[in-house]
Amino acid sequence: TINRRALSSSELKQKLIDKNFTQEVAQQTTDKMINMSYIDDEAYARAVMRQISLSKPAGPRLIRQKLNAKKLDHALINRLIEEYEQNTKENSDEVDEKLLKLAQTRLNRMSNLDKNTKKRRLYSLLARRGFYPEQIASVLNKTIDIE
Per-residue pLDDT reduced to its tens digit, 79-116 = 999 999 998 888 878 878 888 888 999 998 998 999 89
Find how far residue 26's CA is from the centre of its chain: 28
pLDDT of the residue at 3? 56
Contacts (Cβ under 8 Å, ≥6 apart) of 144: 107, 115, 118, 119, 122
Burial class of residue 29 in the structure, from the number of CB atoms within 10 Å of its CB (0-12 exposed, 13-18 middle, 19+ buried): middle
Instruction: Say how far apart CA 2 and CA 9 lie, in whole Å.
Output: 13
Per-residue pLDDT reduced to its tens digit, 8-50 = 999 999 999 999 999 999 999 999 999 999 999 999 999 999 9
pLDDT of the residue at 144? 77
Instruction: Say how far apart CA 118 and CA 114 lie, in whole Å.
Output: 6
Instruction: Say how far apart CA 126 and CA 1 lie, in whole Å.
Output: 38
Instruction: Say how far apart CA 63 and CA 21 lie, in whole Å.
Output: 31
Out of 128-132, 138-142, 143-147, pick the least confident. 143-147
